[in-house]
Chain A
Amino acid sequence: MLKHRHIAALSVAFALLLAACSPKATGTGSLTPAPAGEQPHPGGTLTFIVNAEPPSFDGHRETTFALLHPIAPHYSTLYKFDPGDLTKVIPDVAAAMPEVSADKLSYNITLRTDVKFHDGSVMTSEDVVATYNKIIFPPTGVLSPRAGAYAAVESISAPAKDKVQFKLKYPSASFGTNLASPWNFIYSAAKLKTDIHWYEKNIDGTGPFTYVSNTKGQDWVGKKNPDYFAKDKSGVQLPYLDGYKALIITDATAEVNAVRSKQAMIEFRGFTPQQRDDLSRALPNDLAIQEAPWICVNYVVPNTKKKPFDDVRVRQALTLAIDRYAGSTALQKITIVKDVGGLMRPKGPFAQSDADLQKIAGFGTDAKANKDKAKQLLADAGVPNLTFKFLNRNITTPYEPVAVFVLDQWKQVGINATHDVKETSAYQADLRAGNFDVALDFNCDFLDEPDLQLAKFWSASGLGKGLNFAYYDDADLDKKIDAQSRETDPAKRLALVADIEKYAMDTKAYQYPVLWWYRIIPYLNVVRGWRIGSNHYTNQDLATVWLAQK
């Protein structure tokens, strides 16, 4: 027994030493997604990684990629982003782009007549109306976190079986593009009528893949929908793939190893720079890489319903303590965050200039002065040694490194926060129940659009329900958000958005970004027909993805 135990203990140490000293692979992955002019090859099963479980199956209700990546291939939307040019909106179950009235208050949409649900029923305008009514005017007890993005909508109607009409209260710059939201799965009106919550636990879409199975914690499987309505430009029936399997792998190292061992072909959310480099060295001839700025950001969200976070001085201190510029320099080397920015994506169409941003609390470049002010504010608020729990989700990238950074920044001003890490479902349940002190939340959108990025700033008991986890109600801020949404002059809208940023992040310090993300997708180069965008939500129905034969 003595010998066995000693041998076992020494073996562990020896194995670690061997692993650590093993020779490094060399080479880099290709940056070219696919050779030009190559024709899609039908067949095969795409295997990809999803690093979290979907909290429910209802796209209208959830806000996480963990739902979209495995489930979006089962559904269609009214419009979608062109997989070949992700800045362009194209029809999905719509037959053409909407006809917009001269006063921009009426959107008339003609639907395809060859769209069928997976249960065999034909999709009609009634289904689209039921879908959008659930999203924009959710009945009591139904969660719709993106309802605020459609605040301009007055009514939805179905003048004919293949016609849908949206009537707006005021012209909205974002409404047309928002119809391409990847979250707005078209649901069956009959199913919704029977049970408005049916889609939280069941699947029945009109998308390119039908549901096969779902083993919790293991995988999600879909197979080609033979009745899918879409064809490619050459008239070939879509989707190209025979099916897909989404592997649920929550450990970051296991994810990399799955790609490295070719058990998974791609992970659509993103890898860290280090993981990209490791894979490049390990698979020099089999890897392609795509990178892009990301409309994703982590927010620090104090629960304003709890003391002392109802005190604006405490909330201001929390943001002032964070030296975002130092964090950016360091964290971009180890995880998927990069740029310092406000509520709009840095360098995006609605971003403030650096000079203006630096005037906002917590975004100034003098870290010492900021921290001194934070200490003073905490002392003034009577909590110089503030202690609280910092809620986080158990997804390593980038939540863990961002939290470690933030906790250290707070410690430097005398705040002792403990890291409260939970799996996605429990984390979201706590957020929704207000069961936390301060949380590391996130906001990811499919488009640079203030109506989307500001959706979580509406009053919590109003349009911000299900998204605003700071739980404040602020009629002034609601008015400001509403005003920018109605403003069609781009320059004036930009000024209104800047004013909101100052008010929400500084004056009231309700919730504030840490660092914006940067998306890196290393994947096996047999995967073709998929292009990276500035978000990990669009382009996920996999209809045009195919596998090269090697």
Chain B
Amino acid sequence: MTAVSDAEIIARRSYVESTGRRRFVRFWRDFVRRRPLGTAGAVLIILMVFAAIFADWIAPYDPIANRFQDLLLGPSPEHLLGTDAFGRDVFSRIIFGSRTALLVGFTASIVGCTIGLVLGVVGAYFGGKIDMTIQRLMDILLSFPLIVIAIAVVAALGTGEDKIANVIAAITVPIIPRVARVVRSSALSVVNMPYIEATRSVGSGGARIMFRHVAPNVFAPYLIMMTAFLGQAILLEASLSFLGLGVFEPTASWGLMLRGAGMQFLERAPWLAIAPGVAISMAVFGFNLFGDSLRDALDPRLRTG
């Protein structure tokens, strides 16, 4: 056995890190060059995140302040997307609405996908009764459409302006089985690989094998599912708010904007429906474009060049 000096260890680490950084930069450079649609999606997402973070500075008006002299004004230089039935600036509400959408979307998809990842890996690793139990539970959840489970969960937990966690939970639950199923199928091929056997033979415990050796190898589908479900979660939040089960007035939320004045004044003030409708579509479109391109980029079978 050859002794390795500290200096050599540091040098090796530094090499690995710099190689990792180079790979990361090269990956995204290739992504931008080869996948313009995915890049467009990423730009939409960045814009949305930027709007959500800097809403207080970007929005020209307070999104919930009533201005009775400005009721239902059409788009103009003062109000880019017009005003609603309370004289509130629609552009400002769209900007602030991105906060609600992203808060719910990111939280629900990260939590949902992570729980799905854990369940998928655990099922694949243990197999047998544990796997069967998890999969049958997932089957039950999968047998209901996404929106039906979300409505059931939010109805059970209750709604309210201070209960946004319930809305997030409602969106998280239907994501779990979908991710668990995909992750499990990827993990099944990993758990039978020789290196897992080798790890087991040197005495590694189940938890270490699952989360140190299996999980990182199913991270690509996890990441792709997460981006895909971000769009779905935003759409679901908008749907719940549209149905009166999400957040409530006067909170700025795209679905709520569509439901309230958007529907009531559709003929007289169409901008009230168009603005949040386009915002929802663009957000979902952006996440879908990005997610699909990311999948293509990460899947070696679909990798080109």
Interface residue ranges, A against B (CB under 8 Å): 1-2, 5-6, 9-10, 12-13, 16-17, 19-22, 24, 250-253, 272, 274-275, 277-278, 281, 326-327, 329-330, 333-334, 389, 394, 396, 400-401, 403-405, 407-408, 411, 418-422
A253 touches B274 (CB 8 A): no
- Is the C-beta of B187 less than 8 angstroms from some C-beta in chain A? no
B87 touches A407 (CB 8 A): no
In the bound complex, what is the Cα–Cα distance between A2 and B160 (angstroms)?
Answer: 35
Please choose the segment from B4-12, B46-54, B132-140, B261-269 that sits at the chain A interface, where 4 or more of its residues have CB less than 8 A away.
B261-269
In the bound complex, what is the Cα–Cα distance between A106 and B250 (angstroms)?
Answer: 54
In the bound complex, what is the Cα–Cα distance between A411 and B250 (angstroms)?
Answer: 12
Q: Which of B26-78 contact A (CB under 8 A)?
A: 64-66, 68, 71
In the bound complex, what is the Cα–Cα distance between A274 and B260 (angstroms)?
Answer: 13
Residues of B within 8 A of A418 (CB): 160-162
How distant is A40 from chain B, measured CB to nearest CB, in Å?
Answer: 36
A-B contact pairs, 25 of them (CB 8 A): A2-B292, A5-B292, A9-B281, A9-B285, A12-B277, A16-B281, A17-B274, A20-B273, A22-B267, A251-B244, A252-B264, A272-B264, A274-B264, A329-B68, A330-B87, A334-B85, A334-B86, A404-B66, A404-B86, A407-B64, A407-B250, A408-B64, A420-B161, A421-B160, A421-B161
- Is the C-beta of B270 less than 8 angstroms from some C-beta in chain A? yes
Interface residue ranges, B against A (CB under 8 Å): 64-66, 68, 71, 85-87, 159-162, 231, 244, 248-251, 260-261, 263-268, 270-271, 273-274, 277-278, 280-282, 284-285, 288-289, 292
Whether A408 contacts B86 in the complex (CB less than 8 A), given A330-B68, A400-B260, comes out as yes
Task: Tell which of B231, B267, B277, B280 touches A278, judged by Cβ atoms closer than 8 Å.
Answer: B267
B284 touches A9 (CB 8 A): yes
Residues of B within 8 A of A394 (CB): 244
B280 touches A401 (CB 8 A): no
B273 touches A19 (CB 8 A): yes
How distant is B295 from chain A, measured CB to nearest CB, in Å?
Answer: 9
A421 touches B267 (CB 8 A): no
Closest to A409 in B: B66
Given contacts A21-B270, A334-B86, 5 further A-B contacts (CB under 8 A): A19-B266, A20-B274, A24-B267, A251-B244, A420-B160
Closest to B286 in A: A9
How distant is B290 from chain A, measured CB to nearest CB, in Å?
Answer: 11
How distant is A404 from chain B, measured CB to nearest CB, in Å?
Answer: 5
B285 touches A10 (CB 8 A): yes
B288 touches A408 (CB 8 A): no
How distant is B209 from chain A, measured CB to nearest CB, in Å?
Answer: 32
In the bound complex, what is the Cα–Cα distance between A9 and B290 (angstroms)?
Answer: 14
How distant is A423 from chain B, measured CB to nearest CB, in Å?
Answer: 9
Residues of A within 8 A of B248 (CB): 419, 421
A9 touches B249 (CB 8 A): no
B281 touches A419 (CB 8 A): no
Residues of A within 8 A of B263 (CB): 252-253
B264 touches A275 (CB 8 A): yes
How distant is A407 from chain B, measured CB to nearest CB, in Å?
Answer: 6
In the bound complex, what is the Cα–Cα distance between A421 and B243 (angstroms)?
Answer: 13
How distant is A398 from chain B, measured CB to nearest CB, in Å?
Answer: 12
How distant is A281 from chain B, measured CB to nearest CB, in Å?
Answer: 8
Residues of A within 8 A of B65 (CB): 408, 411
Residues of A within 8 A of B162 (CB): 389, 418, 420
B64, B68, B160, B284 interface centre (most CB from chain A within 10 Å)? B68
A253 touches B249 (CB 8 A): no
B274 touches A404 (CB 8 A): no
Residues of B within 8 A of A6 (CB): 285, 288-289
How distant is B262 from chain A, measured CB to nearest CB, in Å?
Answer: 9
A404 touches B250 (CB 8 A): yes
How distant is B244 from chain A, measured CB to nearest CB, in Å?
Answer: 6
A411 touches B292 (CB 8 A): no
B277 touches A13 (CB 8 A): yes
How distant is B236 from chain A, measured CB to nearest CB, in Å?
Answer: 13
Task: Tell which of A12, A21, A401 touches B281, judged by Cβ atoms closer than 8 Å.
Answer: A12
Residues of B within 8 A of A422 (CB): 160
A13 touches B278 (CB 8 A): yes
Task: Tell which of A13, A274, A278, A330 touches B86, judged by Cβ atoms closer than 8 Å.
Answer: A330
Task: Tell which of A20, A334, A403, A419 touches B270, judged by Cβ atoms closer than 8 Å.
Answer: A20
Closest to B244 in A: A394
Residues of B within 8 A of A277 (CB): 268
Closest to A13 in B: B281
Closest to A394 in B: B244
How distant is A408 from chain B, measured CB to nearest CB, in Å?
Answer: 4
Closest to B243 in A: A251
In the bound complex, what is the Cα–Cα distance between A418 and B231 (angstroms)?
Answer: 28
In the bound complex, what is the Cα–Cα distance between A458 and B86 (angstroms)?
Answer: 36
Residues of A within 8 A of B261 (CB): 334
Closest to B272 in A: A20
A334 touches B71 (CB 8 A): yes
Task: Tell which of B264, B270, B273, B292 touches A1, judged by Cβ atoms closer than 8 Å.
Answer: B292
Residues of B within 8 A of A420 (CB): 160-162
How distant is B158 from chain A, measured CB to nearest CB, in Å?
Answer: 8
In the bound complex, what is the Cα–Cα distance between A252 and B244 (angstroms)?
Answer: 11
How distant is A21 from chain B, measured CB to nearest CB, in Å?
Answer: 7
How distant is A371 from chain B, measured CB to nearest CB, in Å?
Answer: 14
A405 touches B66 (CB 8 A): yes
In the bound complex, what is the Cα–Cα distance between A5 and B275 (angstroms)?
Answer: 21
A9, A333, A400, A405 interface centre (most CB from chain B within 10 Å)? A9
Residues of B within 8 A of A16 (CB): 273-274, 277-278, 281
Residues of B within 8 A of A22 (CB): 267
How distant is A485 from chain B, measured CB to nearest CB, in Å?
Answer: 39
Task: Tell which of B161, B249, B277 touches A400, judged by Cβ atoms closer than 8 Å.
Answer: B249
B268 touches A274 (CB 8 A): yes
How distant is B86 from chain A, measured CB to nearest CB, in Å?
Answer: 6
B264 touches A408 (CB 8 A): no
How distant is B68 from chain A, measured CB to nearest CB, in Å?
Answer: 4
Residues of A within 8 A of B282 (CB): 13
Closest to A335 in B: B85
How distant is A17 from chain B, measured CB to nearest CB, in Å?
Answer: 6
A274 touches B284 (CB 8 A): no
How distant is A377 from chain B, measured CB to nearest CB, in Å?
Answer: 22
Residues of A within 8 A of B285 (CB): 6, 9-10
In the bound complex, what is the Cα–Cα distance between A357 and B128 (angstroms)?
Answer: 77
A16, A278, A389 interface centre (most CB from chain B within 10 Å)? A16
Residues of A within 8 A of B161 (CB): 418-421
Task: Tell which of B265, B274, B292 touches A274, judged by Cβ atoms closer than 8 Å.
Answer: B265
Closest 6 CB pairs of A and B: A20-B270, A16-B277, A13-B281, A330-B68, A253-B263, A2-B292
Residues of A within 8 A of B159 (CB): 421
Residues of A within 8 A of B268 (CB): 274, 277
In the bound complex, what is the Cα–Cα distance between A250 and B244 (angstroms)?
Answer: 10
In the bound complex, what is the Cα–Cα distance between A333 and B84 (angstroms)?
Answer: 12
How distant is A516 from chain B, measured CB to nearest CB, in Å?
Answer: 18
B85 touches A401 (CB 8 A): yes
